[in-house]
Structure 1
């Protein structure tokens, strides 16, 4: 009995080890994406530049300075609280165009529907001279304020976000050699193409087969143990009845 339990434990441990050897398939970004104005770049799937200006906004009977990405209309404000007007440089967004999954291209819809934007602090080593004279690091971005701790109306603040993609198993399907996002309604499993990683070492299929074989053996051992225990109980009951 103990030897059978030990065998079952070893089989289960083998199953877990085999499952951990199979890597989670993830999408791959292509070439770096660059903000052509600030020369900030990311090696993720998209780049987003947000530009805000410190402006006056009416609050109750007075005014308050706020950072805002859109121009706040100051018509009707008193002369001392007029906003500068248009932002000299605006926000912009760039999408990756050569992302792949298992060597096949991802449709732009995958990035737009499944991507996740995250703020990041880029490197400013390639900042053009004219912009490095205007902007200085401020938190995770840049600021045109002479003193970032005391910004003035009309000062600019620039920050960036990069787009990441989660693992895409069960979220995309392969059609005509291109990966597209699955519709919101779940599709039958047969309609989803099987994803295989071209960088996966040879023998992956063998490991998967062995993994399921071990599960089957483990199930058979479990059934055998239950049967063995049941038979022993029945024998014990019959022996007691004969006595």
Structure 2
């Protein structure tokens, strides 16, 4: 019969099939970028949010306010730490005092315990030790950490929590000339420390040994939030820490090994996704309308990619979801308008 439609051949179906594949490929490529960004952002929220990687060039700036940043550079001590009890000071960012007492301790090498004297940094309970092996009940003074009150990194002022978290160690020899009079009468210098033993080489039970170490001024990497000219912990970080401190110039992938890598070149990849989807839409239009509309094809691409990405971000980043949804609405409006125009022209 002359009124019957001829069945479509494989050749006739090739154009719309290729168009559909390219449209889906574009939407999928865009979704991969957004999923990577979504996973990265969700994980980084544990540490306070997305991090601007400033590196050694990071300096205080109004545009950085409220952002998490990675800054690397040498630590500069402006106001040095002081151990007020012993009047000891260093030009390093952190000074740490260690206190040990010469005490009895119990050893087990068989069925019968043995006892020896050794330096210990905590009181050893000797209540069950045999007679003649009693230790003092407590230390007359304790170990402590003293942090510099003002430390800078690339013109940023470090919050006390960041200074306290600096790591590293180098011995500090005490300065007898700085000792207060009452302590100078009780302590003497021995092996780069202070001891209360009358004969330092032969300490007795209860004698004290006090030594110091410092965290050296060095190149460090810090991830923290910018507030004014300060680097502070992010109080809204779900990990309860909100900052990171590492010696050396360390990349984010090492500082946060549990975090997925941020997608590389996200905007060029998004643009490529739109171009792929637009090409697919153009092939579909060429098959359906026998022509390619230069507005309708990209409008369909923006509609599809915007809708898919808005769904991905919904509930995870509502502001980003709103942007993609707005783009989808714009694409839908343009597509509806051009489709009507094409129908009228037909």
Partners of 1:127 and 1:189 in 2: CA distance:
57
8 Å Cα contact 1:48/1:94 also seen in 2: yes
Partner of 2:213: 161
Which of 14, 22, 26 is 2:74 aligned to? Answer: 26
Give 1:62 shift: 1.7
Larger Rg: 2
Partner of 1:222: none
Give 1:188 shift: 5.7
8 Å Cα contact 2:166/2:215 also seen in 1: no
8 Å Cα contact 2:90/2:214 also seen in 1: yes
TM-score by length of 2: 0.44
Partner of 2:152: 100
Partner of 1:215: none
Which of 54, 58, 67 is 2:106 aligned to? Answer: 58
Secondary structure, aligned partner of 1:81:
coil
Partners of 2:256 and 2:210 in 1: CA distance:
39
What is the root-mean-square deviation in Å for CA atoms of aligned residues?
Answer: 2.5
Give 1:103 shift: 2.0
Partners of 1:155 and 1:173 in 2: CA distance:
43
Q: How does 1:71-86 map to 2 (within 5 A)?
A: 71-86=123-138
Q: Which runs of 5+ in 1 are unaligned?
A: 1-23, 191-243
Q: Counting helix residues as a fraction of each chain, which structure ranks higher?
A: 2
Which of 11, 36, 52 is 2:84 aligned to? Answer: 36
Residues 189/107 of structure 1: CA separation in 2 closer, same or farther (3 Å cut): farther
Secondary structure, aligned partner of 2:132:
helix
Q: How does 1:90-239 map to 2 (within 5 A)?
A: 90-168=142-220, 171-172=222-223, 175-176=226-227, 177-179=229-231, 181-182=243-244, 184-185=255-256
Residues 135/185 of structure 1: CA separation in 2 closer, same or farther (3 Å cut): same
TM-score by length of 1: 0.61
Give the total of aligned pairs.
Answer: 166
